Amino acid sequence: MNAAQRATKITLEEHEMPTAWYNVAADLPEPLAPPLHPATGQPLGPQDLAPLFPMEVIRQEVSTERYIEIPEEVRDVYRLYRATPLMRARRLEKALDTPAKIFYKYEGASPAGSHKLNTAVAQAYYNKIEGVKRLSTETGAGQWGSALAIACSFLGLECMVYMVKVSYYQKPYRKSLIEAFGGRVIPSPSPETAVGRAALARDPESTGSLGLAISEAVEDAVGREDTKYSLGSVLNHVLLHQTVIGLEAKKQLEKADAYPDVVIGCVGGGSNFGGIAFPFVKDRLAGQKVQFLAVEPSACPTLTKGVFAYDYGDTAKMAPVVQMYTLGHDFMPEGIHAGGLRYHGMSPLISALYHQGIISAVALPQKSVFAAALQFARSEGLVVAPESAHAVKAAIDEALKCKESGEAKTILFNLSGHGNFDMAAYDSYLSGKLEDLDYPSALVEKCLEDLPKVG
């Protein structure tokens, strides 16, 4: 055995880091259906997106180039925390008494505490070089808002975050983190936008929603010359930037002379799953034997219970209409602790791959997910974010299946973020207060009746 095969932590030196992102759109068996304008139902052109995004981001959104170079200034920030470690979960394997080999990629090592910084830095960079001075965005649990605030601080942009009001007060430390990096964060609905004022007029006590916060951030960007909008998941360019995760993991596994039988990630909008999976999807499309498992919460089972259809990206019907798996744009999931997995839709790229049978999905209830997260913490030392805990649970389940079957599978999962700001969720679990929340089938059925009529 070589040193990396024996190792627990597999590192990359700086000169081994990827210099280009991988664009899975280059290798899709069928191209994606075109996104449509939410008002006209006609295919979107670059000019429709120009008020929201810089041209290079729009170009990446529709690109079918296989590799897109990572700009030097972006790599300069990546060097602060990348390559993130690839860990062999030896202590967990022993605790499970499994013949499986479990590897995880630890994106919690980022300054933002999650993978979100990978695209935040890229988006801030492209905006900066096109003369944009200020970015607006929304955030739910605060992972994305804090990542964008850090990126803007590095690139010298102003950052404006509309944070869902209930999270703003429940997760004060995420708010503090945004402010520590010089970002401005206000609770949504806010009196600063027409959409926010209207919501407050309807209900002064509104605790907000992600859909509403998106609408506020979009209105902010569209209304100001110096400002564009930034989104933390779902879109093609976001997943493109996240492929740095899988590209690194592949090199690290090569060092350990390993290749995954199954690649696992949690899915909300899809960016951390796409990030680790796509470089291996490339191999699968070229004939390699490798499986993929997207893990969603059973309270928001977009892939496993949704439909594959055109739908709006947001509640207010301002975002593009895209073909994806959806529970309906009016769907509002229960307040599970994995706030980042509460999106009604799914990345069009991941939706297409799922529709074509290239990836599988599973939905898990949150109590079993927290139980797995605690088992993982007590073996590997890391308290993971509630979102990432879904991937942990699925990886443990795979490893236990191997114990049954005697198969020595190689399992790779993405540990997308740490749980340092989510300890209240663990308190809730440990004190027995956490409930599994049902899949609201009647609500979904109702929401699905309201899909846009297109084509």
Binding residues vs a second copy (CB under 8 A): 3-4, 6-9, 11, 13-15, 76-77, 79-81, 87, 91, 109-113, 150, 153-154, 172-173, 176-177, 179-182, 374, 377-378, 380-383, 418, 420-421, 423-424, 426-427, 430
Q: Give least dist CB 184 to a second copy, A.
A: 12
Token pair of 295 as six digits: 């893990």
At 362, which amino acid appears?
V
CB nearer to a second copy: give 37 or 91.
91
Count Cβ atoms below 10 Å from residue 3 Cβ, excluding itself. 9
Q: Give least dist CB 149 to a second copy, A.
A: 10
CB nearer to a second copy: give 177 or 447.
177
> Of all helices (H) and strands (E), which one includes residue 237?
helix 236-255
Count Cβ atoms below 10 Å from residue 159 Cβ, excluding itself. 26
CB nearer to a second copy: give 285 or 377.
377
Q: Give least dist CB 115 to a second copy, A.
A: 14
Cβ neighbours of residue 112 closer than 8 Å, sequence gap 6 or more: 120, 143, 146, 147, 150
Q: Give least dist CB 408 to a second copy, A.
A: 21
Q: Give least dist CB 118 to a second copy, A.
A: 13
Whether residue 145 contacts residue 184, with contact meaning beta carbons closer than 8 Å, is answered with no
Whether residue 237 contacts residue 57, with contact meaning beta carbons closer than 8 Å, is answered with yes
CB nearer to a second copy: give 180 or 194.
180
Q: Give least dist CB 182 to a second copy, A.
A: 7
CB nearer to a second copy: give 267 or 373.
373
> Of all helices (H) and strands (E), which one includes residue 266?
strand 262-266
CB nearer to a second copy: give 291 or 375.
375
Q: Give least dist CB 153 to a second copy, A.
A: 5
Q: Give least dist CB 60 to a second copy, A.
A: 24
169 phi and psi angles, rounded to 5 deg:
-90, -30
3-state secondary structure of 386: helix
Helix axis angle, 236-255 to 271-285, nearest 10° = 60
Q: Give least dist CB 27 to a second copy, A.
A: 31
CB nearer to a second copy: give 63 or 368.
368
CB nearer to a second copy: give 94 or 446.
94
Based on the number of CB atoms within 10 Å of its own CB, is 71 exposed (0-12), middle (13-18) or buried (19 or more)? middle
At 359, which amino acid appears?
I
Cβ neighbours of residue 386 closer than 8 Å, sequence gap 6 or more: 336, 337, 338, 339, 366, 369, 370, 373, 419, 422, 425
Whether residue 179 contacts residue 163, with contact meaning beta carbons closer than 8 Å, is answered with no
d(CA 159, CA 184): 6
Whether residue 333 contacts residue 299, with contact meaning beta carbons closer than 8 Å, is answered with yes
CB nearer to a second copy: give 294 or 391.
391
Count Cβ atoms below 10 Å from residue 119 Cβ, excluding itself. 30
